[in-house]
Amino acid sequence: MTLQLDAPQSPQSPQSPQSPPSVSATGRKPVSGRRVLLRRLTALVTVAGLLAWAADRAVPSGGELVNRGGLALLDDLAATALRPSLDPGFLGVVLEATATTLALALLGTAGALVIGLVGGLVLSDVAWSGALPWPVRAGRLVLRGALVAVRSVHELVWALFFVSVLGLDPLVAVLALALPFGAQSAQVFGETFDSAPDAPLRALRAAGAKRCSALAYALLPGTAPLLLSYSFYRFECALRSAVVLGVAGVGGLGFELTVSLQSRNWGEVWTLVAVLLALAGVVELWSNRVRSDVAVVTCADWSVGQERSRDGGRSPRGLSRSTRWSLALAVPAIGAAWWWAGLSPVGLASARTQDLAGRLLSDLWPPALPEGGLRVLTGAALDTVAMAVLAMTVAVVITLLVGPWAGRPRADRRGPAAWGRWAVWWPARLLLLVLRSIPPTVWAVVALLGLFPGVLPGALALGLYTGGILGRLVAEAWETMDLAPRESLRNAGVPRAISAVVSMGPPSANHLVTYTLYRFEICVRDTAIVGVVGAAGLGRLLSERLAAFDFPVVTGILLVSLLISFATEVLGRRLRRALRA
């Protein structure tokens, strides 16, 4: 891990293909070799220290790691894997739940896109054209802050709040998905608008077009492929999150999974897991196809907000049939989802909702400290950070082991070597799909069979899940890497192995570090979910206080997790920028 971390920090490392070469020429002071060594050492010591601290914090004081008593149950669990429940009644329930999950994910994504488009336009500079009056600037600042706050609270926590106001209503799931995802989309869309050429827009405005029509006809067509690509990526994420929301009692596959887990009906659990895998697999294949069709942007790029406009990309004109069908079906599909979920916005405006929302807000304020005061809160916060660090370690190990095999083999390979490569590619991709399609709550239940409650099972559960996502992101980034440096080294007579390591090593490490930092930010947020199942940290404290209806303390805990989220995000962004420059 250390090797990958320090390599890209050295200024001498080859630039990744998307960064302009001019930066190193103008923006950097010359650095001595001793300094580079010093920086590498610092990075190494920091990472090692962080890991040691997290491991020390996670290991229970008794020194026992594995709960040997529970291993027998794990055995039972594995034994039923080949005997999933195929009871027709249950299969009917599963089918309905699948439709509900799809519908909720679709509606959540649609809501997020509406928020994203409006928010993105407000946040982008290009839409305003010219100097802004101060109220607009102040408003935009407030909006930016609000969006960051909204997105640093986990979907599941949003869902728990909405359930307290709206009751068992499908709106809960849709809003819980739409709000944080919308906040994220607004930021990405704003950046996308700003990076688009603004000449057409200015021309239309100069010709006297109204602002709205000018935006609609000049800005949207140019950015549409990117927006579309991002929308499909969001839908994939929404599908995973819709399953996680099942814990909050929102219907769908997640709910059925929770019920089957509670009744320890492993046969049913396996059936549900199989359906989840199939669903996630199909949606990802389809979304991949559409994304590669409309714009050359991988998931990996979207997740860290990087846009590579490499060689102008593919022409957005030549949409394939599947993409055109997906677009034509989107609106009817949203209508159908609306009908299936029985969504009704009436609940939002009802007197009861206003009443309950007012009550919830007055319950939540002012924040308070939990019993035991600041000490307990700090302890939980440190546990959360330790859990996220360990989870990332697990994820990085998974990525290093599986990632290299999960990148699509290059098309120019031929012969038996290529077949072998394909034969490894499938299982590697499947393994990553399994890891990320099963919600972390389920991983946590499994981990709790073999480990004592605490930081470790939470870290393991989150690590397996995040490993599935990180592995895919990194593999996708790796498969689109520029091969030219390797080729020129080879042509210059450098041995194959050396040229591969020297040319591919640093940029691959750069990708790995970038995505690891990005996922770490999300991982911190995700510790809230495994807390619900009984792991340690702020999530645990949160679910405990929610169960006691101790809302002032809940606010206190949320504020602390907000603080941690902010800190990791700012730190992560800085490090990422330093690596990219």
Partner 1 sequence: MSLRPMTRRTLLLGTGATLLLGACGTGAASEKRQLGISAIPDQDPELLNRLYPAVAERFADATGLKVAYRPVTDYTAVVRAFEIGDIHLAWMGGLTGVQARARVAGATAVAQRDIDAEFHSLFIAHKDSGLRPFEKVDGLRGLAGHTFTFGSETSTSGRLMPQYFMRQAGLEQGELRGKPGFSGSHDATIELVAGGSFEAGAVNKQVWDATVAAKEVDLSKAVVLWRTPGYADYHWLARPDLDKTFGDGTRKKVLDLLLGLDGRNAEDAELLKLFGAKSFVPTRNSAYDRIEDVARDLGLLR
Residue 264 CB, shortest distance to partner 1, in Å, is 6
The answer to whether 547 contacts partner 1 (rule: CB under 8 A) is yes
Q: Which of 532, 529, 528, 517 is nearest to 576 (CA)?
A: 517
The answer to whether 168 contacts partner 1 (rule: CB under 8 A) is yes
CA distance 560 to 345: 33
Contact 467, 522 (CB under 8 A): no
Residue 347 CB, shortest distance to partner 1, in Å, is 8
Helix (H) or strand (E) holding 546: helix 538-547
**Closest CB to partner 1 among residues 230, 255:** 255
**b/e per residue 381-418 (b: at least 16 CB within 10 A):** bbbbbbbbbbbbbbbbebbeebbebbbebeeeeeeeee
The answer to whether 80 contacts partner 1 (rule: CB under 8 A) is no
Tell me how far CA of residue 487 lies from CA of 87, 222, 483, in angstroms: 57, 35, 6
The answer to whether 62 contacts partner 1 (rule: CB under 8 A) is yes
Residue 516 CB, shortest distance to partner 1, in Å, is 29
Among the listed ranges 72-80, 128-136, 420-428, 506-514, the one in contact with partner 1 (CB under 8 A) is 72-80
Q: Which of 41, 47, 219 is nearest to 121 (CA)?
A: 219
**Closest CB to partner 1 among residues 116, 251:** 251
Neighbour count for residue 282 (Cβ, 10 Å): 10
- Residue type for 412, please? D
List the alpha helices (DSSP H) in 342-372.
346-349, 351-364
Applying CB under 8 A, among 17, 60, 92, 221 the residue interacting with partner 1 is 60
CA distance 434 to 523: 18
Among the listed ranges 163-171, 195-203, 396-404, 484-492, the one in contact with partner 1 (CB under 8 A) is 163-171
Structure tokens at 338: 């609306």
**Cβ-count burial of 170 within 10 angstroms (0-12 exposed, 13-18 middle, 19+ buried)?**
buried
Among the listed ranges 2-10, 145-153, 301-309, 541-549, the one in contact with partner 1 (CB under 8 A) is 541-549
Residue 73 CB, shortest distance to partner 1, in Å, is 5
CA distance 290 to 327: 10
Supply φ then ψ for residue 451, to 5 degrees. -125, 155
Among the listed ranges 80-88, 123-131, 165-173, 429-437, the one in contact with partner 1 (CB under 8 A) is 165-173
Among the listed ranges 128-136, 255-263, 384-392, 411-419, the one in contact with partner 1 (CB under 8 A) is 255-263
Q: Which of 385, 416, 394 is nearest to 461 (CA)?
A: 394
The answer to whether 448 contacts partner 1 (rule: CB under 8 A) is yes
The answer to whether 315 contacts partner 1 (rule: CB under 8 A) is no
The answer to whether 543 contacts partner 1 (rule: CB under 8 A) is yes
Among the listed ranges 30-38, 46-54, 182-190, 450-458, the one in contact with partner 1 (CB under 8 A) is 450-458
Contact 357, 163 (CB under 8 A): no
Which string of x and - marks every residue 358-397 that binds partner 1 (by CB under 8 A)? -------------x--------------------------
DSSP 111-159: HHHHHHHHHHHHH-STTT-SPPPHHHHHHHHHHHHHHHHHHTS-HHHHH
The answer to whether 69 contacts partner 1 (rule: CB under 8 A) is yes
**Closest CB to partner 1 among residues 132, 168:** 168
CA distance 465 to 244: 12
The footprint of partner 1 on residues 495-534 (CB under 8 A) is 534
Helix H, strand E, coil C: the string for 418-449 is: HHHHHHHHHHHHHHHHHHHHCCHHHHHHHHHH
Which string of x and - marks every residue 214-253 that binds partner 1 (by CB under 8 A)? --------------------------------xxxx----
Contact 537, 387 (CB under 8 A): yes
Cα 415–chain centre separation: 37
The answer to whether 267 contacts partner 1 (rule: CB under 8 A) is no
The answer to whether 131 contacts partner 1 (rule: CB under 8 A) is no
Helix (H/G/I), strand (E/B), else coil: 209: coil
**Closest CB to partner 1 among residues 164, 287:** 164
Q: Which residues contact 125 (CB under 8 A, 6 or more apart)?
A: 194
**Closest CB to partner 1 among residues 56, 371:** 371
The answer to whether 263 contacts partner 1 (rule: CB under 8 A) is yes
The answer to whether 332 contacts partner 1 (rule: CB under 8 A) is no
Contact 434, 361 (CB under 8 A): no
Applying CB under 8 A, among 344, 362, 378, 488 the residue interacting with partner 1 is 344
The answer to whether 295 contacts partner 1 (rule: CB under 8 A) is no
The answer to whether 549 contacts partner 1 (rule: CB under 8 A) is yes
Q: Which residues contact 169 (CB under 8 A, 6 or more apart)?
A: 344, 347
DSSP 382-406: HHHHHHHHHHHHHHHHHHHHHHHHH
The answer to whether 255 contacts partner 1 (rule: CB under 8 A) is yes
List the alpha helices (DSSP H) in 263-320.
266-294, 299-303
Applying CB under 8 A, among 70, 200, 404, 485 the residue interacting with partner 1 is 70
The answer to whether 96 contacts partner 1 (rule: CB under 8 A) is no
Residue 359 CB, shortest distance to partner 1, in Å, is 9
Residue 550 CB, shortest distance to partner 1, in Å, is 5
**Closest CB to partner 1 among residues 174, 475:** 174
Applying CB under 8 A, among 550, 562, 566, 580 the residue interacting with partner 1 is 550
The answer to whether 449 contacts partner 1 (rule: CB under 8 A) is yes
**Closest CB to partner 1 among residues 237, 387:** 387
Among the listed ranges 30-38, 125-133, 258-266, 435-443, the one in contact with partner 1 (CB under 8 A) is 258-266
The answer to whether 485 contacts partner 1 (rule: CB under 8 A) is no
**Closest CB to partner 1 among residues 318, 373:** 373
**Closest CB to partner 1 among residues 249, 281:** 249
CA distance 70 to 64: 13
Structure tokens at 351: 């007197």
Which residues of the chain form contacts with partner 1 (CB under 8 A)? 60, 62, 64, 67, 69-70, 72-73, 76, 163-168, 213, 246-249, 255, 258-259, 262-265, 335, 338-339, 342-347, 352, 356, 371, 448-449, 452-454, 534, 536, 543-544, 546-550
